[in-house]
């Protein structure tokens, strides 16, 4: 049975998810808290970001340095809530360095916490595989230096990247200011009759509602990374609730 929007078809008991986000992020919690099976909970740990600018390759590098330096502290703090599982509500760093880079990131989190983890990169790839997608279009909020890493990651996994549209947000904070109209236009810019699915990276880009509406119009999967991350984390924990109203990924798989 499929639930109505905002409800669930069955009751899932009591998993505590540590949700790790950059301190600049204002979209992840909004989107995640709309998608929560009963008795599951999201507990946020914020990664202190001092250099929020993303308007150049050098700025992107400083942002990544901040993130990696502050990640252990954010994890240490949220672990005092005794969570069952770690969910990364940030994605740029998980695409960096391709499949090996994402695997190393995941292993670092496991070593720091003793818990398993869902990353945006893994979740996005698994979501595309669930739909059997081969040729994809990608939307990001990033500058070219970030887009290159995202394309390299998906290409390494065997996906044919038809196109990528980076919105070139000026800072990690201002990503959240991108409008639904701009996000929609970005998706349409990388679509085509031979494209199997559209995927979005960048967790501060609030894209779930836009993607869910657009996939109805296009008749193909349009996957927001925050939806993919929720889906992957729930399924990895044996939570198989079919949740309607946010896109076909959580309704079908």
Give the tokens for residue 128: 């595309």
Give the pLDDT confidence of 221-249 residue by residue, as tens digits. 999 999 999 999 999 999 999 999 999 99
Q: Kindly report the average pLDDT of the chain as a whole number.
A: 94
Helix (H) or strand (E) holding 200: strand 197-200
Give the pLDDT confidence of 155-185 residue by residue, as tens digits. 999 999 999 999 999 999 999 999 999 999 9
User: Using an 8 Å Cβ cutoff, are 37 and 239 in contact?
Assistant: yes
* CATH class, range 123-225: alpha beta
Give the pLDDT confidence of 72-105 residue by residue, as tens digits. 999 999 999 999 999 999 999 999 999 999 999 9
- The arithmetic mean of pLDDT across residues 187-194, rounded, is 98
* CATH class, range 16-120+227-252: alpha beta
Q: What is the pTM of this model?
A: 0.93
Give the Cβ contact number of residue 187 at 10 Å.
24
For the chain, give every residue range classified as CATH 3.40.50.12500. Answer: 16-120+227-252, 123-225
- pLDDT confidence of 2, banded at 50, 70, 90? very low
């Amino acid at each position: 049975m499929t639930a109505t929007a905002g409800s669930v078809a069955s009751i899932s008991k009591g998993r505590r998810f540590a949700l790790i986000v950059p301190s600049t992020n204002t979209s992840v919690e909004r989107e995640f808290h709309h998608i929560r099976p009963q008795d599951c909970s999201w507990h946020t740990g914020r990664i202190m970001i001092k250099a929020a600018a993303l308007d150049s390759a050098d700025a992107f590098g400083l942002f990544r340095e901040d993130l990696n330096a502050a990640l252990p502290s954010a994890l240490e703090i949220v672990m005092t809530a005794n969570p069952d599982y770690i969910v990364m509500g940030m994605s740029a760093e998980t695409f960096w360095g391709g499949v090996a880079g994402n695997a190393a990131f995941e292993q670092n989190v496991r070593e720091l916490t003793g818990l398993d983890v869902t990353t945006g990169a893994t979740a996005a790839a698994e979501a595309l595989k669930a739909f059997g997608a081969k040729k994809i279009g990608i939307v990001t909020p990033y500058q070219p230096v970030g887009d290159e890493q995202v394309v390299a990651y998906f290409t390494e996994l065997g996906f044919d990247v038809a196109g990528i549209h980076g919105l070139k947000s000026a800072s990690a904070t201002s990503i959240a200011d991108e409008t639904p109209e701009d996000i929609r236009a970005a998706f349409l810019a990388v679509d085509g009759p031979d494209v199997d699915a559209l995927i979005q990276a960048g967790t501060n880009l609030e894209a779930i509602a836009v993607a869910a509406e657009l996939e109805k119009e296009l008749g193909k999967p349009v996957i927001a990374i925050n939806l993919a991350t929720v889906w992957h984390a729930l399924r990895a924990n044996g939570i198989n609730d079919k949740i309607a109203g946010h896109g076909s990924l959580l309704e079908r798989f």
